[in-house]
Amino acid sequence: MAAKSKAIQALGKFTSCDIGDALVKLGIKHGGYLSGLSMYSPHRMSGPTKIFGPAYTVRMVHAAEKASPSPPKHFADAIPKDSVVFVSQPKGLISACWGGLMSTRAKKLGAAGVVIDGRFRDIEEHRALDMGLFARGISILGSNTFTRSSELNVPVEYVNVEVNEKVTINPGDYILGDCDGVVAIPPSTVEECLRLCQERYDIDDKTRKCLENGDEMGPTIKNLRK
């Protein structure tokens, strides 16, 4: 268990690109990449900010949907420390399901960051909090009358629209987001993913040095990437 904990900590030092490539090699379709999500806070797709932690999932439903259950407390009050809040909003809405007050609460509870499969609002509030926030888009409309939270810490589906692929995000899956994008990492792959990331990092470091010395790309890659 201690070894896995160290592996998790070490894996968080790599980029979403490193991890995506490693997961492809491990047979995870599209490398766990969640296409369509990008960084909005604390900066727009720039800077060294990275969020990394186990997913705490929130499934939203349409406000008028009465058959779905309701959580025992507000979902923002149940955020575990060091988790990445992953909110699944119903598709086809132009309203937000996350706002500045929610990030204020998440920050107080020690959340590692927020991922919105949908829209959010109050962008400057999140940036003032230095909250790492990733989303599909932004809105001026709040969730009131449009959506409500239903289930907490249940599997939710994320759709990579371009390839019509559904990715299941399970509670406890590791989510890493940086300026390049967001990737979901199954816990069972952590150690092998780390090994492959480190292996590729070392190769790329050698490749970069060769290129800086004026070596040609083709022969360098052929020689180092075996």
Binding residues for Mg(2+): 122
SS3 180: coil
Concatenated DSSP letters of 75-117: GGGGPPTTPEEEEEPPTT--S-S--HHHHHHHHHTT--EEEEE
Binding region for substrate: 99-102, 121
Q: What is the C-alpha separation between 11 and 219, in angstroms, rounded?
A: 30
**Residues 6 or more apart from 197 whose CB is under 8 A from it?**
11, 14, 18, 19, 21, 22
Q: Which amino acid is at 165?
A: E
Q: Torsion-angle region of residue 76: left (phi > 0), alpha (psi -120 to 50) or beta?
A: alpha
Location of structure tokens 């160290």: 6
Contact indicator for 141, 121 with CB cutoff of 8 Å: yes
Residues making up the binding site: 99-102, 121-122
* Residue 33 DSSP label: B
Give the residue from 114, 93, 55, 182 showing the smallest Cα distance to 122.
Answer: 114
